[in-house]
Structure 1
Amino acid sequence: MNEDRIDIKTPEYVSLQFQVAGLGSRTAAFIIDQLILMAFNIAVIVIFIVIANGQPDLLFFLDMNSYLLAIGIIAIFLINWGYFFVFEYFSGGRTIGKRLMGIRVIQENGHSITLLSSFIRNLLRIIDSLPTSYFLGIMMIFFHSKHKRIGDLVAGTIVIHERKTKRKRKLSPIEKEIQTRGLSINDLMIEEWSLKSMNMKDWKLVQTYSNRFLQLPQKEREAMTKQIAEILFPKLGLDLDDGDLENKLLIIYLILKEEWEYEL
């Protein structure tokens, strides 16, 4: 089951192969996430009890009991639902459990999960958990050819194993250049929302730039740098007039490389 692979053709007509995450890895990730959530739930319950028992007037406590109970229930619901929704969208389709198990959620077209898809697939956890203990979701994952639960079917998502970056014994010329310049992904602050606007076509553009960077004469390199910066910087919310375009593009290469350059 864990050897299942699918081929996805992106809207940019790039074919990608992924290994679909089966029931075992998804269950292990879910258990890890549930243990984390259990700790948060217990903390909320303890806080609720402390606040309730801390009321000096018994009649005041009775008046506030249902109010505090409602707040506690809402808080627990938001924590349990929001945990998956927030982590999957803002952490590249990975909750803590998924990250530890090396799996992630993506769109069926190979792109990162969208805000709407994350909302839908996690809202439908309510249905997947029926009639009890996530029974319906488990059955769907086990029998579906792509191991999808109902939330995945409706949201158009799929859970796959991480494709790890190919490890090289020595740095490539462009990596040596980046290292020589002392650049890292932490040198450029880009909003997560802006990064999610990047697609495979943008990555190919940056990759081509980095591959030709050291081969071009200075004038041609400067012209190419400006041209590509004019295309990408507005999408990333960066200022074209801030100078140092080369270093910024090389850092963008490092950032996008983590997302797009990997293999099974």
Structure 2
Amino acid sequence: MLTVRTPENIELSYALAGPGSRAAAYLIDFFAMAVAGQLGVNLVVSGVAVLLSGLGEDGKQWAAAIAVLMVFALYNGYFILFEWLWNGQTPGKRMLHVRVIRQGGYALRLFDTLLRNLLRAVDFLPFFYGVGLVSLLLTRDSQRLGDLVAGTLVVYQEPVETDSLLPDLSSDSEAEPPLPAAALAAVPSEVVGLVGIYLRSREEMVPRPRQEIAAELAELVRESSGLEPRTGQGLEGFLASIVRQVEPGPPWSYPPPEEAGLPS
């Protein structure tokens, strides 16, 4: 179990994915790549071979070189694109409910997935992830070499319902029923500041930590003021309404945590 502290000073716990789950996810992805590669590479190389047939032996060598480049691009591009577009998951990882995240609990960026996957070839040495497996077993957070360099972790990610986190934050404050002034005044300014920072940075968070932080902040508001979300109102909609009515203006305009005097 891994515990991290977010810039909002909230602790989150993750179960680290072990070698077994990661290997199973990789095998699923490998077979998916094999099927796609067999069809795509054969089709392209056959077409190139026909176009270069007039070059004789040189044409065959060019076709072979193109095939090698395509396999390299497919192998690396598969993981890079899926992890970037699917928020740290590939089809195999999604089936095994594991996800790649940045240290600190934040969502993966394109640079992170580029770095960790381009180093996959080193992890594969001397054969079938020899270096990577040794690194997984010896490091405290079960990280292969690519994870260590990129600053990433692979954790279990249970399916999370995010409906409660998807309010329309662009709705005008005039459409909201006003909250009791006395209750709003009871919400500490530090909590309002934390809520503003959260709303500004929420898109960088993976679903489960995002839900947990929203719940923690809503509980801080409730404890201090007694205010709770209306029926059918999402947690983020509730938090946004607090900020809008206490501090008019876009909640994402709050300063970064370090400028607000909070741990970054």
Q: Return the TM-score normalized by structure 2.
A: 0.64
Q: CA RMSD in A?
A: 4.0
In structure 2, do the counterparts of structure 1 residues 62 and 23 end up closer, same or farther at CA, with 3 Å as the change threshold?
same
Give the letter for the 2:104 counterpart.
Answer: N
How many residue pairs get aligned? The number is 207
For structure 1, which segment, 110-119 or 68-77, has the greater mean C-alpha deviation from structure 2 after superposition?
A: 68-77
Match of 2:119 in 1: 124
Residues 158-199 of structure 1, C-alpha deviations (whole Å, 9 max, x = no match): 1100144389xxxxxx96xx9xxxx999xxxxxxxx974469
Give the letter for the 1:214 counterpart.
Answer: R
SS of match in other structure, 2:68: helix
Match of 1:42 in 2: 38
In structure 2, do the counterparts of structure 1 residues 163 and 16 end up closer, same or farther at CA, with 3 Å as the change threshold?
farther
Quote how far apart the aligned CAs of 1:206 are: 11
Quote how far apart the aligned CAs of 1:50 are: 2.4
Quote how far apart the aligned CAs of 1:52 are: 4.7
Q: Structure 2 CA distance, aligned partners of 1:184 and 1:12?
A: 21
Q: Structure 1 CA distance, aligned partners of 2:210 and 2:87?
A: 18
| 1:9 maps onto 2:44 in alignment | no
Residues 56-83 of structure 1, C-alpha deviations (whole Å, 9 max, x = no match): x853354433333332222221111011
Match of 1:104 in 2: 99
Residue correspondence of structure 1 range 60-139 to structure 2 within 5 A: 60-139=55-134
Give the letter for the 1:33 counterpart.
Answer: D
Residues 124-162 of structure 1, C-alpha deviations (whole Å, 9 max, x = no match): 101101111111112221332321111111111111001
Consecutive unaligned residues of structure 1, counting only runs of 5 or more, are 168-173, 186-193, 235-264
Consecutive unaligned residues of structure 2, counting only runs of 5 or more, are 169-200, 222-226, 234-239, 255-264
Give the letter for the 1:77 counterpart.
Answer: F
| 1:214 maps onto 2:230 in alignment | yes
Q: Give me the identity figure in percent.
A: 26
Q: Is the 8 A contact 2:17 2:155 kept in 1?
A: yes
Match of 1:239 in 2: none
Q: Which of 214, 217, 224 is the aligned partner of 1:204?
A: 214
In structure 2, do the counterparts of structure 1 residues 8 and 159 end up closer, same or farther at CA, with 3 Å as the change threshold?
same
Quote how far apart the aligned CAs of 1:230 are: 1.7
Q: Structure 1 CA distance, aligned partners of 2:216 and 2:77?
A: 34
Q: Return the TM-score normalized by structure 1.
A: 0.64
Residues 184-228 of structure 1, C-alpha deviations (whole Å, 9 max, x = no match): 99xxxxxxxx9744697996399749x745299xxxx97855767
Match of 2:251 in 1: 231
Q: Structure 2 CA distance, aligned partners of 1:40 and 1:7?
A: 38
SS of match in other structure, 2:250: helix
